[in-house]
Amino acid sequence: MIMAVLNDREIEERIRKGNLITGEYDIKLVTPNGYDVRAESIRVSGMERKDGADIPSRNQFFVSTMETIDLPADISAQIWIRSSYARKGIIGSFGFIDAGFRGQLTLSFFNSSDESLHISRGERIAQVVFMIMTSPAERDYSMRSGNYQNSSGIKLS
């Protein structure tokens, strides 16, 4: 069985039809094989900020995305840290986005570098790569756990 990655044309068409990404999106953030999501809220040292934040060295932080992901039953997605952050010593730990998920993403990062880093609201932080499945899920995310369905802002477990 083959799972295919959507290309830029397919992503743009689906977004215009109200699929994949809804709410605050920018069609210019479509990449050849994905979409760059942006930081909305940032939580570091227990404080949540909406106007950007300084991330101290050796600290975990969380970011919610401006975009709302809205996947149909036949699309799943992967999240990848932007390489510019990885080159600065930022490590990201992300899960798979299940078919049928709808909501803003909460992304977990760690600043492993010896220097602090500033992240601004609206800054591109990660790329989402969409994959079409061989057939729709019989029971999508909303019918299974659905713990983070319709999430908004930073949601910790």
DSSP the chain: ---EE--HHHHHHHHHTT-EEEES--GGGEETTEEEEEEEEEEETTEEESS-EEE-TTEEEEEEEEEEEE--TTEEEEEEE-HHHHTTTEEEE---B-TT-EEEEEEEEEE-SSS-EEE-TT-EEEEEEEEE-SS--SS-GGGS--TTTTB-S----
User: Tens digits of per-residue pLDDT, 1-32?
Assistant: 567 999 999 999 999 999 999 988 899 999 99
pLDDT at residue 57, as a whole number? 96
pLDDT at residue 37, as a whole number? 97
User: Tens digits of per-residue pLDDT, 61-95?
Assistant: 999 999 999 999 999 999 999 999 999 999 998 98
pLDDT at residue 33, as a whole number? 95
Q: Compute the chain's Rg from CA coordinates.
A: 16
Domains of the chain (ranges; CATH) run 4-137 (2.70.40.10)
- CA torsion sign for 31, 121, 114, 43 is negative
pLDDT at residue 2, as a whole number? 64
User: Tens digits of per-residue pLDDT, 93-120?
Assistant: 898 999 999 999 999 999 999 999 999 9
pLDDT at residue 154, as a whole number? 85
Could you give the CA distance from residue 92 to residue 107 in angstroms, rounded to a whole number? 7
